[in-house]
Structure 1
Amino acid sequence: MPYLTSPVLTPGSLARVPQPSLPAGDALLLRPWRAGDAPALHAAFQDPVMHQWHIRSSDSVEEAAGWIAGWQKGWEGEREAQWAVVDDATDELLGRVALRQILLGDGVAEVAYWTVARARGRGVAVRATTALADWALEEIGFHRLELTHSTANEASCRVAAKAGFALEGTKRSALLHPDGWHDMHLHARVHTD
């Protein structure tokens, strides 16, 4: 049975070219993850704040290296696109930003982000999320980007709003965290925003 509409994005929209590095202003760069980032990635996940808001932990540098290898394959398979957020001058890891759950035909993906402790409160997450969203919507042609976070995570809510993601509602009891089920805010940005 044929579809009545054409795909928003076709296979190859991402993978036909190498994953780009994206400038985010004020010496901030989004670049593809490298194998050598594994120690810094592992260290980032030792932060208790990461354990509060994320449902994964990293037990070893080797495990973090496995995540990076998987993320690199995610770009090739157009399932996800993950970037290290780094200081452009020093290459110091400041965070991560990603497109997850990519549905090319629908032109939809989920945005995710985190920052390391020393980068919080400096606008890193806002600049990185804005740069990623601008690229995805304007250069690649995604139609809609969604972003979810725990309703208890007020800092993440501020990042979403400052990055232009409108609050659309609350998904009740939507994600199991280590301390129980959390309601999740749903934010979105669409191409016409």
Structure 2
Amino acid sequence: MISSSGIPPAVPAGRMAGADQPVLPLSDGLELRLWHADDADALMAAGQDPDIRRWNLFTVEDRADAHRRIARMHERWRAETGAVWAIAPPGARALGLIGWNDVDLADGSAEIVYWVLPAARGGGIVVEATRRLSRWALDDLGLHRLRLCHSVANPASCRVAEKAGYSFEGTMRAALLHADGRHDQHLHALVRGDV
């Protein structure tokens, strides 16, 4: 369908909702897969982790809230507004989350978000998952521009962006309100053809 501006969408509506969310393999026996109801404990643990709460502005009230959040992840895929995966060994509990917020199929853009539980940090899982999910978004889904934004006070996310091939584009001043006040954010991007 062509928009009122006469410009065809970068990705046709229905491309996500008309298909199942894929399982994407990673190395070391890990995969990106759907969140399941039995991942609620991992989501609750993430909601209690001080680093995840600080950088992702993320809390989980209780098990019922975790289940609602997991259901919303599935709804966002069907609505084509977001796509969220668990980072996990096959058949095991989630170690982290990675996905796309602000999916705009007409424009062909999205913003990546991620976190991992403390036991999974430091081994390069987030970098590999970011690379894999970026390839899926550009090559399989057909997006054109991917964003990775993070507080300038979070150098670990800056390293993820650099190692995953995202170019630094600048600093957005006072762009996000955290518990300790407004933070400047770095903007990194990956555009089709960069890799």
- 1:128 equivalent to 2:122? Answer no
Q: Distance in 1 between matches of 2:49 and 2:25?
A: 26
Which SS does the other structure have where 1:93 is aligned? coil
Partner of 2:14: 12
Q: CA deviation at 1:25?
A: 1.9
Matches within 5 A, 1:16-95: 16-88=18-90, 91-95=92-96
Q: CA deviation at 1:28?
A: 1.6
Partner of 1:101: 102
Q: Distance in 1 between matches of 2:144 and 2:50?
A: 35
Q: Distance in 2 between matches of 1:4 and 1:186?
A: 30
Q: CA deviation at 1:5?
A: 2.5
CA deviation profile, 1:142-183 (whole Å, cap 9, x unmatched): 101011000010001101111111110010000000111000
RMSD of equivalent CA atoms: 1.2
Partner of 1:144: 145
Identity of matched residues, %: 45
Unaligned runs of at least 5 residues, structure 2: none
Matches within 5 A, 1:149-188: 149-188=150-189
Partner of 1:119: 120
TM-score relative to the length of structure 2: 0.95
5-14 vs 144-153, which deviates more?
Answer: 5-14
Report if aligned partners of 1:7, 1:105 keep a CA contact under 8 Å in 2: yes
Partner AA of 2:45 in structure 1: A
CA deviation profile, 1:65-87 (whole Å, cap 9, x unmatched): 11000110000000100000002
154-163 vs 18-27, which deviates more?
Answer: 18-27
CA deviation profile, 1:7-53 (whole Å, cap 9, x unmatched): 11011111111111111222120001111111121012211111221
Unaligned runs of at least 5 residues, structure 1: none
Report if aligned partners of 1:94, 1:124 keep a CA contact under 8 Å in 2: no
Which SS does the other structure have where 2:95 is aligned? strand
Q: Distance in 2 between matches of 1:49 and 1:34?
A: 23
TM-score relative to the length of structure 1: 0.96
Aligned length: 192
